[in-house]
Amino acid sequence: MTTNGRHEVLQEPTVYRTKIKDWPADERPREKLLKHGSVALSDAELLTIIIRTGTGKFSALDLARGLLHEARSLRGIARKSAAELMRMKGIGQAKAVELLAAFEIGRRLEARHGQEERIIVRSPEDVARVMIPRMRDLTSEEFYVLVLDAQNGLREEVKLTAGTLNASLVHPREVFKTAIDHRAAAIIVVHNHPSGNLEPSREDIEITHQLVESGKTIGIPLHDHLIVSGGGYTSLAERGIIQ
């Protein structure tokens, strides 16, 4: 919840060194959600519902607060791998998996928001709205091929590789095999920079030139190559690298 652009801290119940089921009913996160709705719960209380049970002398709320303290925010938790979560106090394999699943559901909902209707790609912003929610929390590079129809409608987003972007991982042959298999009229490619740097690397530019030339030969043009990181993006078409 925000007020004048600032995050409003919701009141959390007093820390109890007892099981949550023994708390007063109006302070239990599940009952509070049922009575007042999910917006009434703090970040820690929402995490508490996912974590479900405590460990040792710590309640589930204590564990949730510990996660938020160590990761500094919900987004910080969302960026962590299962192994990183399991290194946190009181988080075993089952809790780590449940947290990862919950955050992935949130990412997919955000990525698909508004996609019930057919998306027509008219600008890099149209692509960014689809791909940034999907890619901004990734800790390694992923490369997507976006399949467009003859009217620039977005038909499919195909993940081609995951790892460090280089010529051995992203080859025009694989990109255009995907395009042909999905009967693309044109394509856009997108990859992320987990470092936060939105500047295209030498490899990014070289691969883009290769894809442009291959697309001309095959007859499936490359419309753009987007680099995304955090909430931002760089369009290589806007930079004049794709002509």
Domain 116-235, architecture per CATH: 3-Layer(aba) Sandwich (3.40)
Interatomic CA distance for residues 195 and 228, integer angstroms: 10
Contact 48, 12 (CB under 8 A): no
Beta-carbon count within 10 A of 46 CB: 18
Higher-scoring residue by pLDDT: 179, 75: 179
For 5-9, 102-106, 148-152, 177-181, which range has the lowest pLDDT when averaged over its residues? 5-9
pLDDT of residue 134: 86
Which tens digit of pLDDT belongs to each residue from 163-220? Answer: 655 444 578 999 999 999 999 999 999 999 988 899 999 999 999 999 999 999 999 9
User: Phi/psi of residue 40, each to 5°?
Assistant: -80, -10
Specify which residues 239 forms β-bridges with.
none
- pTM to 2 decimal places: 0.59
As a 3-state breakdown, the chain gives helix, strand, coil percent values, each rounded to 5, of: 45, 20, 40
Q: How far apart are the C-alpha atoms of 173 and 37, rounded to whole Å?
A: 51
Q: What is the largest CA-CA distance in the chain?
A: 70
Residue-wise pLDDT for 93-122, tens only, equals 999 999 999 988 887 777 665 555 678 999
- Per-domain residue ranges of the chain: 2-111, 116-235
Predicted pLDDT of residue 24: 65
Mean pLDDT of the chain: 84
